[in-house]
Structure 1
């Protein structure tokens, strides 16, 4: 069985969580939704290479602070920053703070799902290099149908 990969979606509303779960429902993923910095850091703690979707929303400063703290805690994480409002000069700033990719403007959900799906093998590879012993034992997510298969 393929090990499950952590994907964390950090956003104010559950827009991306709903879109991505539906498109990647058959992938071996553990989904976590977070709303703030503490939630995000708690979700990724102990994971060698989490995948994170970080929606800047209307408060890019808060989200960028979250990105910096994430980069310190999980430096190998793969982070997609979504900047739908196209903040000037934010692309390079976010990259320098640890974003793997920054998407400015409208991000079509199928394309975002393709990015995450493409990162799953890379994240699994990085995780295997870190060793399975490094992975925390997550609690099963009752809303995740894949979690029922492992019980």
Structure 2
């Protein structure tokens, strides 16, 4: 059985779900749609390599702040920032703040679906590599003198 990957659609209005779900319906995906920062952070928490489509909106400051918080909580997330209004300088700034890729202007849904499809393979690979290494190490047993030397 193939493990399912998390894809989060973070946008003010539900547009991308209707575009992407039918195109990726046969993929092992868990879909989450979020509207605000807290919803987004709750959705990705605990996932080793979530995929996030983040609409940066008409006033991109809020979207950039959301991107920074997402990058801190899930540094290995694959994030597609959408800047449909083509704000000057936003592309480079979003990349600096943690976006994996930024799409400025009109983003054709079939092309976005192809990118997400490629990222599903990459996310699955990264998750497999993280494996047990992604788990926190237990505290050493204070009654075992050899365990204290390993720290």
- In structure 1, what is the equivalent of residue 30 of structure 2? 30
| Aligned partners of 1:47 and 1:134 also within 8 Å | no
In structure 1, list runs of 5 or more residues that go unmatched.
136-151
Q: CA deviation at 1:80?
A: 0.2
Stretches of 4+ moved more than 3 A in 1? Answer: 132-135
Match of 2:45 in 1: 45
Compute the displacement of 1:36 (Å).
0.5
Could you say which residue in structure 2 is the equivalent of 1:72? Answer: 72
Structure-to-structure mapping, 1:1-151, within 5 angstroms: 1-131=1-131
Q: Which range is displaced more, 14-23 or 72-81?
A: 14-23
Q: Aligned-residue CA RMSD in angstroms?
A: 1.4
CA 1:83/1:41 → structure 2, altered by over 3 Å: closer, same or farther? Answer: same
Number of residue pairs matched by the alignment: 135
What secondary structure does 1:82 align onto? strand
Instruction: Give 1:134 shift.
Output: 6.0
TM-score normalised to the size of structure 2? Answer: 0.86
How far off is 1:133 after superposition? 9.3
Unmatched runs of 5 consecutive residues or more in structure 2: 136-151
